[in-house]
Amino acid sequence: MKLSIVILAAGQGKRMKSDLPKVLQPLANRPLLQHVIDCARALEAEAIHVVYGHGGEQVPQAFAGQPLTWVRQAEQLGTGHALMQAMPAIPDAHLVLVLYGDVPLVASATLRALCGAAGERSLALLSVVLDDPAGYGRVLRDKAGSVYRVVEQKDANRKEQAVRECNTGLLAAPAAALRRWLGKLGNENAQAEYYLTDIVALAVRDGYKVEAVVATSATEVLGVNDKAELAELEAAYRRQRARELMLAGVTVLDPARLDVRGSVTAGRDVLLDVNVVLEGTVVLGDRVRVGAGCVLRDTSVAADTVLHAHCVLDGAEVGAGCSVGPFARLRPGTRLARGAHVGNFVELKNATLGADSKANHLSYLGDTTVGTAVNVGAGTITCNYDGANKWPTVIEDGAFIGSGSMLVAPVTIGAGATIGAGSTISKPAPPGALTLERSRQQTLAHWQRPHKADAAERAHRIAGAQLPGGDRKDEPK
């Protein structure tokens, strides 16, 4: 059967106490709903329908450009009512998988098992066994172990509340039968809502087989209702992603202090120190070492490179055998060739540093192309912005830039050139020559360093400074 997926994402999330709709609350720097959508895409469904309500157009606008079908639930009358809104667009011959926008950690393998348990004459629901089932609907089985009903906590009697197998709300069912069951739902319950779970009893009545697929972990079916639960979910997500990396061979010095907020590809013998954050798409080559407190976003780092503590790399491409940091910042468009060194408090933006070139201390290189074996001295700045436009700087192979130099772009430093320390260079520096620019140094032999004046002297000086014309009475005319 072809698959249609419906994600129920219309809840308000009052307990979040936020102006942001619940499904837009961030988990690992992405909306909760985005995690569910990404998992749904892995199933290669014919269509993904998202039912939204609270937050209005704010929710679909957050996912503009993604191939999704949006369905508005104008009134929040329960999960059954929410699913009704999406059904008109789903063919009878499809299998329908129902997901929730605030249950973001469910695994695609679990969903495949759920879909595999459903068919033309069967309904499958995802259950979980909990030590503390309070608040969850209970899955009720007969003596033969077959599911015959799901009862919500508020409607369950004492015996039913003792059941530890709980309903997660996720289910798969044939569209034609699901449409028929939804039409028979009533709202005679404690919440006066149309419960999607009531279709289980309707399916049993119609002779359909009801399969309960038990989730392998309670973590993957965790939902979110408030910021405390969101923090718990964030911690669970961190543990999950850290474990995935460790099982892939990465050494993680403290799994509790690693944040993975995107896709990470790692080679052999990679080491991640504490408080590392990996965002977007990150690629780490063999034997890469990432120091404490580093943040990498949409960055690739080739083999044998060391990122020392507290570096920020954003949209950078770092070659093999490089050394970066500590406290370095590589902004978008930065490219380091093999063996390049970027030291402490150095910032690069839209810059290329050639093989074996070094910028080791307190420098800014923006819109700059640096050749091979170049040494950039401490305090060097490429003055690339004139207040309206950005201009390029080119430093050719083997050049030596003295400390404290200002390179005013557009400018080219020739191959093998040397720039004297403290120079402001605004014209091309020829290859192989020393270029420097300095004012004449003077020494005033009789100059005395100012001393701290007492109160009487300060009053005298202030009074003198206020004479008409700005004359001072203690100065010679």
pLDDT at residue 314, rounded to an integer: 98
pLDDT of 381 over the 90 cut: yes
pLDDT of 473 over the 50 cut: no
Residue 318 vs residue 456, higher pLDDT:
318
Residue 278 vs residue 456, higher pLDDT:
278
- pLDDT tens readout for residues 6-41: 999 998 888 999 989 999 999 999 999 999 999 999
Q: How confident is the model at residue 472 (pLDDT cuts 50, 70, 90)?
A: very low
Section 165-184 average pLDDT: 96
Tell me which DSSP letter residue 137 carries. P
Q: How many CB atoms lie within 10 A of CB 200?
A: 27
Q: Is 42 helix (H, G, I), strand (E, B) or coil?
A: coil
Q: Is 400 helix (H, G, I), strand (E, B) or coil?
A: strand
The answer to whether 150 and 167 have CB atoms below 8 angstroms apart is yes
Section 207-224 average pLDDT: 93
Point out the catalytic residue in the list 361, 446, 451, 460: 361
- pLDDT tens readout for residues 405-442: 999 999 999 999 999 999 999 999 999 999 999 888 88
Q: How confident is the model at residue 449 (pLDDT cuts 50, 70, 90)?
A: confident
Tokens of 351: 């810059």
Section 63-78 average pLDDT: 93
pLDDT at residue 450, rounded to an integer: 82
What fold is seen in the domain 244-435?
Answer: UDP N-Acetylglucosamine Acyltransferase; domain 1 (2.160.10)
Query: Phi and psi for 85 in degrees, rounded to 5?
Result: -65, -30
CATH 3.90.550.10 domain position(s) in the chain: 3-221
Is 361 among the catalytic positions? yes
Helix axes 32-41, 108-117, angle to 10 degrees: 60
pLDDT at residue 474, rounded to an integer: 47
Q: Kindly report which listed range (190-194, 232-236, 297-301, 318-322) carries the lowest average pLDDT score.
A: 190-194
CATH 2.160.10.10 domain position(s) in the chain: 244-435
Average pLDDT, rounded, for the chain: 93
pLDDT of 129 over the 80 cut: yes
pLDDT of 229 over the 60 cut: yes
In this structure, the dihedral spanned by the alpha carbons of residues 334, 336, 337 and 343, taken in order and rounded to 10 degrees, is 160
Q: Kindly report which listed range (24-33, 144-153, 369-378, 409-418) carries the lowest average pLDDT score.
A: 144-153
pLDDT at residue 468, rounded to an integer: 55
- Cα 416 from Cα 14, distance rounded (Å): 66
pLDDT at residue 475, rounded to an integer: 46
Tell me which DSSP letter residue 320 carries. T
Section 377-403 average pLDDT: 97
pLDDT at residue 466, rounded to an integer: 62
Tell me the CATH class for 3-221: alpha beta
pLDDT at residue 411, rounded to an integer: 97
The answer to whether 60 and 70 have CB atoms below 8 angstroms apart is yes
Q: How many helices (H) and strands (E) does the chain have?
A: 9, 38
Q: How confident is the model at residue 394 (pLDDT cuts 50, 70, 90)?
A: very high
Residues of the chain above pLDDT 90, percent: 83
- pLDDT tens readout for residues 295-352: 999 999 999 999 999 999 999 999 999 999 999 999 999 999 999 999 999 999 999 9
CA-closest candidate to residue 299, choices 284, 282, 275: 282
Distances (CA, A) of 443 to 436, 437, 447, 449, 455: 21, 19, 9, 13, 31
